[in-house]
Amino acid sequence: MSNASKKYTFIDLFAGIGGFHTALHSLGAKCVFASEFDKNARISYEANYKDVEPALFQKDKNGKYLFFNEDINDVDPSGIPNFDICCGGFPCQPFSVAGLRKGFEDTRGTLFFNIANIVREKIKAGYPPRVLFLENVRGLKNHDKGKTLQVILATLEELGYGYSYEVLNAKYFGVPQNRERLFIIAWYKELVNIDSFKFPYGIAKDGSTIYEKDKVKDNSLLTKVSDIFEPSDITRNFTISDRMWEGHKTRKERNKKNGKGFGYSLFNGDSIYSSTISARYWKDGSEILIDQSDKGLNPRTLTPVEAGRLQGYRIIGGGWERQECSDNQNYNDSNPEYKIVVSKKEAYRQFGNSVAVPVIKRIAEEIIKQLM
């Protein structure tokens, strides 16, 4: 049986709204356990995955979820079904490093410890997870003078895993967003005999994967911010007020004088990418404002639908301003439709916190090819 047609299982930790789930499910993998603390993210997660993975949302006779955990600190690893791949976009926290022995014990009291502990208990029980697929902010590399990453890698080693890590940018994977994230791929050395993992750096214009870092800039898929636009009869309702626009301009000027911060960022439909969307986007949208001066209007924020598309989710919303965009590789009907079921504010927060799905999908394809 080829790797691609085997049925792999995965767990989805710090699951958010399920960017890892969307990507791995599209490759035929089955989610057997998920954990997410935020109540609104849980609502979005269940609404979008309960039809594709009903077993994940089973409850016991007291109405408690069996496999959709709320607080990872309460998890008993023996209650988690065995799995091949552990996915986790874990928060970046410092470790209180005691002395020189950097490793598992130093991670206690952090959320990364929960990942390491689940893996350790599965190894003890004779079911070592084959691959760990971890994501974090780019800053993890230098966090606490590099100590944080050092402890994570030492812990992986201690558990018997080889690893490779790399910073990848979503703008080379067909989404018009400049979003850098650190990925750590680890494999259980007793099961997988390789020296390093070959990362995908982007998607070429013909849809193939680019493996050379130096080729990605000139050869990746062309993108435009307008790839994500809903029609203008919808977007004009997101025009910011005169007062807010004046506030943005004043703040930018002041920051410039004080030499700190950047203030707002303005893009138009022809910009090849926007800046990184973050969880605070709902507050004032300042990191990505869309210029409407050609219509004689103040700038606008992205709609929640556009914010989701910026992360590679296929959201139908009110349709597309440029109809041909609905047929590109991220938004065509080979991708599952993602439904927004929460308030505008929560939708922005959730998309700002999400992974960029096309990046996760390409890495997952390589995991299946190289490590399974």
Catalytic sites, residue numbers: 92
Name every residue whose Cβ is closer than 8 Å to that of residue 314 and which is 6 or more positions away in sequence.
330, 331, 332, 333, 335, 336, 337, 338
Helix axes 111-124 and 147-158, enclosed angle (nearest 10):
10
Name every residue whose Cβ is closer than 8 Å to that of residue 209 and which is 6 or more positions away in sequence.
200, 202, 203, 362, 365, 366
Name every residue whose Cβ is closer than 8 Å to that of residue 18 and which is 6 or more positions away in sequence.
12, 34, 44, 45, 48, 49
DSSP 8-state code for residue 372: -
Query: What does the alpha-carbon distance between residue 163 and residue 181 come to, in Å, rounded to a whole number?
Result: 16
Q: In what helix (H) or strand (E) does residue 34 lie, and over which residues does it extend? A: strand 30-35
Can you list the alpha helix ranges (DSSP code H) found in the chain? 19-26, 39-49, 111-124, 147-158, 216-219, 232-235, 242-258, 281-284, 304-310, 344-353, 357-371
Q: Do residues 360 and 173 lie in contact, with contact meaning Cβ atoms separated by under 8 Å?
A: no
* The one-letter amino acid at 328: N
Query: What does the alpha-carbon distance between residue 289 and residue 285 come to, in Å, rounded to a whole number?
Result: 6
Query: What does the alpha-carbon distance between residue 104 and residue 117 come to, in Å, rounded to a whole number?
Result: 8
Query: What does the alpha-carbon distance between residue 314 and residue 143 come to, in Å, rounded to a whole number?
Result: 33
Q: Do residues 152 and 102 lie in contact, with contact meaning Cβ atoms separated by under 8 Å?
A: no
Q: Do residues 170 and 19 lie in contact, with contact meaning Cβ atoms separated by under 8 Å?
A: no
